[in-house]
Amino acid sequence: MHRRTFLKGAGAVTVLAAAGGGWRAVDQGVFSVGEGPAYLPWENWRRGPDESLIPLVRAAILAASPHNTQPWLFKVADSSIDVHLDVRRNVGALDPYLREAYIGMGCALENLWLAAKAKGSALDLNLVPGRLGPAPPGPGPVLVARVAIAGCIQEWTELYEAIPRRHTHRAAFLRQSPVPREFVRLLSLLPNDEETLRLYLFTAEEARDRIVAVSSEANAELYSDPVVIRASERWLRLGWDEVQERRDGLTIDAFGLSPLMAGAAKMMPSWMLRRTAADRAQRDYAHLMSSAPLIGVIAVRDRYDREQCLLAGRLWQRAHLLATARGLAGRPCNEAVEMIDREKAQGKAARRAGLLAEVLGGSAWEPTFVFCMGYPTVAAHPSPRRPLEQVLL
């Protein structure tokens, strides 16, 4: 975003003056949305020698991950890539069994897969089996998949082309703009493993309201828990220098604010911003989620099976890329499933699992990821990304 774009907002000059002036605005990145070293991976994602597998990794690191933790590590050989989970990059009490971390790893695998096909390579993808448990105490990476590369016919798809444009939308959706039926049909065709994956799509208002109610209540309970709050805040990157240095986590530019409000937020003291962000998350959650004309639920046979988590992540990445390619936006709204994990970790009754089973019509399929889609009210901005040297083993 350029300086003149920001200043178009009514009262922008007043906000800047009250918060400390234009020089501080420059220092805090008010005029530098999506710029700087932290955002270069979105621009150079195709770079690398034709014979190299590095472009596949460059595509993989642009995938979605919980709180933008980017928990992936890659070991690249001449014709293979080993994909590892860095268990240190987790969101603690919000993901006690690393279920969402594995979903993020599945998102990276999907991007890698699409990039390989565009390069003219076929993948022999071998997922490492196992069950999820509490995060292991050791800091070592965990192998989640081995990818062998071979030749095939080059295939560029709209999903591949959408990789650098896919960003999480955290603002409201256009309420009066329903999702096209053809898009819903295409979404329904995305699951490619009917034995272990199922995608539920809800467009009727009554069904969506039921999911919003369960999710909103779960969100309120989660973010009233000090342990969850501390674990989540570990991934907040509120200062511009911190964004450029850490190159991960949740930033002000990704909060779904208008340009004027985002600029004002960057000028706040961090303690004030944390309080404001927490209040807004609690107050606006139901409003934002209910504005979406489509709510989806990805379900598996066993939400704590590692391979099924990876498959669920691949499906979410495909769905989000398809939405991006068709001019729609998407965001996770997964607090209800996070509460399933939290209740399990605390030894409580599985109340949220029961509520979601009622929505899905039974417990044969276990929900592991809830998302919203619709037409955006504001443009979603890119999130920072770690450079290759930090993700290669």
CATH number at residue 153: 3.40.109.10
Whether the predicted pLDDT of 257 surpasses 70: yes
Q: How many CA atoms lie within 13 A of 211 on its CB side?
A: 33
Task: Give me 83's structure tokens.
Answer: 């994909």
**Residue 95 counted as domain residue:** yes
Q: What is the span of the domain harbouring residue 150?
A: 49-163+382-390
pLDDT of residue 32: 61
* Confidence label for 120 from pLDDT (cuts 50, 70 and 90): confident
| 75: in domain | yes
**How confident is the prediction for the chain on average, in pLDDT?**
87
| Nearest-10 crossing angle of helices 205-222, 270-290 | 160
Distances (CA, A) of 28 to 20, 39, 236, 260, 330: 11, 16, 15, 14, 28
- For residue 45, is pLDDT > 80? yes
Mean local confidence (pLDDT), 140-148: 93
Q: Are 58 and 388 in contact (CB under 8 A)?
A: yes
Region 350-359: what's the mean pLDDT?
A: 95
* Mean pLDDT value of segment 172-183: 94
CA 349 – CA 337 distance, rounded (Å)? 14
What is the rounded (10 degree) CA torsion for 234, 240, 242, 248?
Answer: 60
Dihedral of the CA atoms 194, 352, 360, 330 (nearest 10)? -70
Q: What is the Cα–Cα distance from 33 to 1, expressed in whole angstroms?
A: 5
Residue 111 lies in a domain: yes
Higher pLDDT among residues 110 and 157, named by residue: 110
pLDDT score, position 5: 36
The confidence band for 240, taking pLDDT boundaries of 50, 70 and 90, is confident
Span 201-227, mean pLDDT?
Answer: 95
CA 105 – CA 313 distance, rounded (Å): 7
Query: Which band of pLDDT confidence, cut at 50, 70 and 90, is reported for residue 17?
Result: very low
Give ∠ CA 30-388-112 in degrees, rounded to 5. 105
Phi, psi for residue 63 in degrees, rounded to 5? -75, 165
> Of 311, 317, 298, 293, which is closest to residue 183 (Cα–Cα)?
293
Q: Report the pLDDT value the prediction gives residue 83, as an integer from 0 to 100.
A: 98
Residue 107 lies in a domain: yes
- pTM metric for this prediction: 0.90
Q: Is residue 127 part of a domain?
A: yes
Residue 376, classified by CB atoms within 10 Å of its CB into exposed (0-12), middle (13-18) or buried (19+), is: buried
- What mean pLDDT comes out for the span 75-88? 94
pLDDT exceeds cutoff 50 at 14: no
Q: How many domains does the chain have?
A: 1
Q: Is residue 370 part of a domain?
A: no
Give residues with Cβ within 8 angstroms of 319, minimum separation 6: 187, 190, 199, 296, 330, 371, 373
Q: Report whether pLDDT(96) > 80.
A: yes
Residue 246 within a domain:
no
Give the sheet arrangement for strand 142-151, strand by strand: 72-76, 80-85, 142-151, 121-127
Query: Is residue 194 pLDDT above 50, yes or no?
Result: yes
Residue 258 in any domain: the answer is no
